[in-house]
Amino acid sequence: MPAFLPPFTLLPAHTFDLSARNWADNERAWLAAIPSAKQGIALIHEGGDGIVVPRSYQQGKPAFQTACQTLAAEGLRVHVRLSGGGVVPQGAGVVNLHLGYIVNTPNPLLVAEAHYQALCGLLAELFEHFGIRTNTQTVQGSFCDGRYNLAAAGRKIAGTAQHWQRDQSAANRYRVLSHAVILAADPAMLTERANRFEQALSVLVLDIDHFKRVNDTYGHAVGDKVLIEVAQQIQRVARKDDSVCRLGGEEFLMICPSTDIKAALLAADRLRRTIEALQINVQGTVIRSTVSIGVAECNATDTVASLIKRADKAMYVAKHGGRNRVNMGR
């Protein structure tokens, strides 16, 4: 065990009581129960049939409520957790491991990666004990994908997440929830369950029109300024729970949780108009840019890769249709 982790006391599974409290309130109570900086607590439990989502998914109402009602009618409960990430299914063959402990640091971002690696290392040792060799990697097409999955022979068998809560008892002190979900169930069933909830999720792929012309005419320094200005506009239009990243070159991705296709198309057109109105002043020269945007809503058969691919294809249709427009993926 890494030297910066304390010894842990294993608590009974019923400590995490979903019959009396919701998931996030259980996590809050559990974090409050950490005894000291020298002693952590651990918990292993099953979550019952359902899924667990981050708090940000609640921002996309009413799509979130609709998704919850759809799954509830089938006996699947939707839980909301404190940590970030994406949808994590629960059920038979899914085991949750919680570690709670105190960390002294001025900024969690400085040490979060080391704590992810520590948790993955502990899990790898556990699987090695049973003769299962694992490695840390992303797993294309898996739910809640990230760098700190644990995989065996290319199959995701564990995922991890963190939540850092400032401890008011001392400066530069945080209470940490380090969570792992261990997957022994059928991966196809788990992915299908996660994707059914994610049907209320849409993605936007957008590409700056005629960007090569900007680089060729004004140089790459100006092209970089255009990229930065457009990226800032995307961030301003994005909601708090949306995620924005650059796919490469002049292409960007926006992930919109709890957003159906109708709402996503409206958001895409609002973004298109915002960038169309943008004036970028470079040494007295005003440069204008437009974007072509493809939009796709997650369906029950989508993987992460296939969803983005549909939005990307829709973006190219918008390009060929005259640019500066929004197109819906099929």
Q: Within the chain, which residues score under 70 in pLDDT?
A: 59-63, 140-146, 186-187, 195-200, 300
Instruction: Decide: helix, strand or coil at residue 216.
Output: helix
- What structural domains does the chain harbor? 8-198 (3.30.930.10), 201-328 (3.30.70.270)
Q: Is the CB of residue 94 less than 8 Å from the CB of residue 46?
A: yes
Element of type H or E holding 218: helix 211-218
In angstroms, the CA 37 to CA 50 distance is 34
Among candidates 241, 327, 240, which has minimal Cα distance to 291? 327
Q: pTM for this one?
A: 0.61
Residue-level pLDDT at 65: 77
Confirm if 208 and 291 have CB atoms less than 8 A apart. yes
